[in-house]
Amino acid sequence: MIPITVVDVADAEPLVAEVLRSGVIAQGPMVKRFEGLFAEVAGTKHAVAVNSGTTALVASVQALGLRPGDEVITSPFTFVATLNAVLEAGATVRFADIRADDFNLDPDAVADAITERTKAIMPVHLYGQTADMGALMPLADERGLHVIEDAAQAVGAKFDGKPAGSFGVGCFSLYATKNVTTAEGGVVTTSDDDLADRLRVLRNQGMRARYQYEMAGHNYRMTDVHAAIGIPQMERIAELTAKRQRNAQRLTEGLTGTPGLKLPQVLPGREHVWHQYTVQVLPDAAMSRDELAAALTERGVGNGIYYPKLVFDYDCYRGHPQVPQVKVADFPTAAAAAEQVLSLPVHAALTDEELTTIITTVREVLGA
Ligand SMILES: *Cc1c(COP(=O)(O)O)cnc(C)c1O
């Protein structure tokens, strides 16, 4: 089986052992070192490490001072953490449709979704390509809105040369399957000194010095054990990303012209970091998306559907006081994507032989 993701952290063993031997295992010097490496990649003055991508999002909404009734506009085509984080922080979520070319928030749809209660836009840089920040940032500035980037899948991605996480408040995930992992973990990036300070205090029970509480905080801390896992990956992130980019290029070369298959696009001015290589199975393909997924699995080619439904389209969100009651049909582009997307392996551990197998299997199954 060619897996859809591979966790490759064996090179962290000496550093993790160093932490274990030191006895400083909770948030300490390794977290600081990891934050330094991360801020460099995100192009920001600060990186605040936390214990998950979800808590990075929650902490950002809280640190920006959003309150119950305030609205955050985001994508309906995302992982559930995007939605759950806004709800956890007490705000109301509002959805805007995505664009067909990058699967990310459509700035025109965002403009239409803004109300007097809107306080923030939360673009999701899905699959490793940023949203159209060239349109979203001026829109946010004009309307006085915060931008919280859900960059969970986009460490190292760029828009017009500027890194993901440096436009608004950047929120990254370091979960096991992400491009960089600490097993579990997250990071918030910003160049705003006051915001970074609030995030650091919030992360540690709202405590500035011992038993000096400044706000109702939480325990969002990362441990030095986890930071040590991530440091070697951050040191070779350029190489890891370049591998994913080469793999994506190989897949595109090999799959071009496959009938019924739409390949992912890298839009002008964007640097894609290929968290996922996601094709679309069109209605005129030899088989449905679900049939293709099953056929590939049967032939040993791992694959994934991210995401099979719109994020709000579950019973637990129906009638939820912080989720406006919307219909799938209100988001036709996102709804079509949910029916058609299929991700193929693109991770940095793929061999040339595996890439060839993926290409020939997909072509064979679709009768190309
Ligand atoms: C992974 C992910 C998250 C959540 O990150 P965790 O580290 O799993 O909490 C949030 N948003 C998106 C788009 C993700 O892919």
Ligand 1 residue neighbourhood (C-beta within 6 Å): 52-54, 78-79, 81-82, 124, 150, 152-153, 173, 175, 186
**How many angstroms from the chain centroid is the CA of residue 146?**
18
Residue 318's SS3 state is coil
Describe the strand order of the beta sheet including 92-95 as a list of residue ranges: 46-50, 186-190, 169-173, 146-150, 118-122, 71-74, 92-95
Q: So what's the pLDDT on residue 247?
A: 98
Residue 64: name the closest of 124, 3, 5, 140 by CA: 140
Nearest CA to ligand 1 atom 10: 81
Tell me which residue has its CA closest to atom 7 in ligand 1.
53
Q: Which atom of ligand 1 is nearest to the CA of 54?
A: 9
CA of 79 to the centre of ligand 1 (A): 7
215: left (phi over 0), alpha (psi -120 to 50) or beta: beta
Q: What are residue 58's phi and psi, to 5 degrees? A: -60, -50
User: CA 229 from chain center: how many Å?
Assistant: 19
User: Which domains can be identified in the chain, with CATH numbers?
Assistant: 10-235 (3.40.640.10), 237-365 (3.90.1150.10)
CA–centroid distance, residue 24 to ligand 1 (Å): 27
Q: State whether residue 93 is helix, strand or coil.
A: strand
Contact call for residues 159 and 221 (beta carbons, < 8 A): no
Q: What is the pLDDT of residue 318?
A: 96
The encoded tokens of residue 20 equal 């274990």
Q: Say how far apart CA 327 and CA 100 lie, in whole Å.
A: 19
Q: Rounded to the nearest whole angstrom, what is the distance from the C-alpha of residue 36 to the centroid of ligand 1?
A: 21
Q: Quick one: which H or E segment has residue 341? A: strand 341-344
For residue 31, count CB atoms less than 10 angstroms from its CB and return exposed for 0-12, middle for 13-18, buried for 19 or more: buried
Substitution candidate for ligand 1 out of 82, 104, 181, 229 with most atoms within 8 A of CB: 82
Task: Output the CA 80–ligand 1 centroid distance in Å.
Answer: 8
C-beta of residue 31 within 8 angstroms of C-beta of residue 50: no
* Cα–ligand 1 centroid distance for 82 (angstroms): 7
Q: What is the dihedral of CA 6, 9, 10, 12, to 10 degrees?
A: 180
Ligand 1 centroid from CA 368, angstroms: 35
C-alpha 171/C-alpha 182 separation (Å) is 15
- Stretches in the chain below the pLDDT threshold 70: none
CB 228 within 8 A of CB 180: no
DSSP string spanning 178-234?
Answer: SSS--BS-EEEEES-HHHHHHHHHHHBTTEEETTEE-S---B-PPPHHHHHHHHHHH
Residue whose C-alpha is closest to residue 146's, from 176, 123, 162, 126? 123
pLDDT of residue 368: 80
Smallest CA separation from ligand 1 atom 2, residue? 152
In whole angstroms, give the CA distance from residue 188 to residue 206. 16
* pLDDT, tens only, 80-103: 999 999 999 999 999 999 999 999
Residue 152 alpha carbon to ligand 1 centre in Å: 5
